[in-house]
Amino acid sequence: MTDEAAREPARDPIRDPIRDPIRDPIRDPIRDHDALALADELNRRAGAWRTEPAEDHRFEALALAVTANLPVLLWGEPGIGKSAGMRQLADGLGVPLETVIASVHEPSDFAGLPIVGDDPAATGVPMAPPDWAVRVARAGRGLVFFDELSSAPPAVQAALLRVVLERRVGSLTLPEPVRVVAAANPPSSAADGWHLSPPLANRFVHLHWTHDPRTVARGMAGTWPQVSIPRIDPARMPSAVARARGAVSGFLTARPGLTHQLPGDAEARGGAWPSPRSWEMVLRLLATGYATGAGREALSTVVVGAVGEGAGLELLAYLDNLDLPDPDRVLADPDAFALPDRGDRQLAFLTSVVAAVQGRLTRGRWEAGWTVLAKAVDAGIPDVAARAAVDLAALRDVDWPVPSGIDAFLDLLQLSGALTGDR
């Protein structure tokens, strides 16, 4: 060892490694690492924002349909915030969000891939689900967001039918607390866009997603709206379901031609249109709206999104003029109410009364229902009350005596077989 080497301090290979000045030059922390870190910090500050309470009927409509556990399809141009809305909705519900780009998947990604076991003849061939479905199933709840649905080819849309209708992905059944939302761009602006098939389109509540320039401008200033999620009031649930049943049943009785109307052109068939399935969706939406105290505009939006503009606007006009008494209050004091004048309103009211009895069945409420029907007979409309009488009689416990108010319906009930037992 030379004297110069002996005088040189020992080199720590960890703190002071020998570097090749060509292959491994000493890095400039300001030029490289810190520069990127500073850029990331700048971007973080630019992306930071706060929220303030706000009202947004389209977000309320989305949250209302999701609360009712109905699949929702958001229509809107690219880049207007559909994905951001999903993140806010998932955060508000306190559930994980799984985003699936439908246009880049194969049908087997939703129908499942066959996995052959040891003895297929004995155990069959299960269909393995994709990873996103497994994660949601393990969590027990979640929001699944199928993006770019209109860019998915018809074969993929057909595979999605089972996911939307039966909540099955391969051999896996999604838990009930899992909600499904999809997004689509209009075919004119979608890459390789397709019209939705009528069976798939009729399973969605269709909402048009737009942007408010004032909201965007305020968001760029650092403040975005925070929209509340509708909460169901347990005390309203029985009467909410009863009101919804009476409203939809009465409307379809008055307008039977709107029960099913398949549009003639392909674009309209890929949107909202009335069918028995979509009217059932309206029933659930109205019940959820009544139970949450949803605003009129949000409720109107989801009704039109389920059955289309023509049928939806007719129903909304019908509801505005319906003004039915609260069936629970009527059952609490059946002698202190006035029967509606119009025939369709009478049918809707009596249907809601029977539904309210069914929702919370007790002997006292069942007997109060017969008092209500007896008033209908006294008012000279036994034919309107006849169907409600058959439904009410079917709810009777065999140990309950037959009330006197049933006398006007005895022949009808005995013919229908709805009334058994001794008086």
SS3 at position 145: strand
Q: Write the CA distances from 105 to 147, 293, 301, integer angstroms.
A: 11, 39, 31
Per-residue pLDDT of the chain (423 residues; tens, 9 = 90+): 455 545 555 554 444 544 555 555 555 544 556 677 888 888 888 888 888 787 888 899 999 999 999 999 999 888 788 888 888 899 888 999 999 998 888 888 888 877 776 666 666 777 888 889 999 999 999 999 998 888 888 888 888 888 888 889 988 999 999 999 999 887 665 555 677 889 889 999 999 988 788 888 888 888 888 778 889 999 888 889 989 998 998 899 888 999 999 998 888 898 999 999 999 999 999 999 999 999 899 999 999 999 999 999 999 999 988 877 888 889 999 888 888 877 778 888 888 899 999 988 999 999 999 888 888 888 887 777 788 888 888 888 888 887 776 766 766 565 544 455 444
Length of the chain equals: 423
Is the CATH number 3.40.50.300 carried by domain 72-116+124-203?
A: yes
Residue with tokens 């929001």: 143
C-beta separation of 349 from 340 below 8 A: yes
C-beta separation of 89 from 220 below 8 A: no
C-beta separation of 157 from 109 below 8 A: no
Residue 213, amino acid: P
SS3 at position 301: helix
Q: How far is residue 102's CA from residue 106's CA, in Å, rounded to a whole number?
A: 8
